[in-house]
Amino acid sequence: MLILNKKDLEELLTMKEVIEALEKGFREVKEGRSVVPVRFRLEIKEWEGEFLFMPAYLSGLKQGGTKMVSVFPKNPSIGKPTIYATYLLNDPSSGELLALLEGATLTGLRTGGASGLATRYLAREDAKTLGVIGTGYQAFFQVRAIQAVRSIEEVWAYDIDPERLKEFCKKVSPFAKTHPASNPSEVVRQSDILITSTTSSHPVFSGRDLKPGTHLNAIGAFRPNMRETDDETILRSKIIVDTFEGCLREAGDLLIPMAEGKLRRESIYGDLGDLVTGKKRGRESREEITLFKSVGFAMEDVVVAHYAYEKAIREGRGQRIEMMEVKQ
């Protein structure tokens, strides 16, 4: 079995490689060569935490595996991270465990990559200014993914934590001119492409501030009671989801206005697989506002994990261990 840690993944994979792997995966799903259940949650009430299990099998690509994630919000009070994640990559023909991958970096790469893929189909070709609301762990992956598909010259950013915003701008500054903003509206009004990457339970900006032609990647809210976008944004946008099944079960950005009768399921334009396979067109005019809503999808993990594993084998990266003796 091969072990790939954070450093291995960061050095092995470029965002362009991640995006290409994801495009193949979305095609496999859309053309019916996959089994990808909605993630399973196991609540740990006494510790106010939960375990998430995300299995996936792609028959056409012969890839299979499971991501395991734990979310324990009280962990920082005892000096531990809120989230732990690990990926188990298997050989689907035998069940053999091929690799164990550090899951937080894998998640950052594939979530960023999915936004990059959506942006390639939905953002204006001449988009130059990127806005970011919420500058936590995922935000840097998002920036690098967008830069893989568009020539970004400036990044405007806002976070409720000034120190976190400062660190983010410092990290991004080698790649683009950065502007720390004093409020979300300032970011939105400047943006050709906008990313929301927060865990907010209420909208983080006003849809009235969106310029015509803006593309938005809303990637933070992943529960039915969470939302980053307001009704104005939803009603002004052509909406594309990562998957209908996941978003109609978990995306508060859509479920809340649907429950209030402000959005119909039929008003959601399509999913990312529709764009990848050419069943539906992406951006159709310079003026339209497009919104990519994602809650995460286990297919994304397995295709990126498998690509990392194969590249690591070719380049001699990672650490090999034997879990059990194999008798001939």
Q: Which of 67, 211, 280, 311 does the annotation list as catalytic?
A: 67
Reported residue count of the chain is 328
Angle between helices 15-30 and 103-122 (to 10 degrees): 80
- Degrees (nearest 5) of the Cα angle 40, 41, 46? 160
Distance CA 150, CA 147 (A): 5
Question: What is the DSSP track for 81-116?
Answer: -SEEEEEEEE-TTT--EEEEEEHHHHHHHHHHHHHH
Q: What are phi and psi of 196, to 5 degrees?
A: -110, 125
**What's the sign of the alpha-carbon dihedral 231, 144, 288, 273?**
negative
Helical (H) or strand (E) element with 268: strand 268-271
Q: Is 170 a catalytic residue?
A: no
Contacts of 183 (CB under 8 A, 6+ apart): 158
The helix or strand, by DSSP H or E, that contains position 307, with its residue range, turns out to be helix 298-315
Active site residues: 67
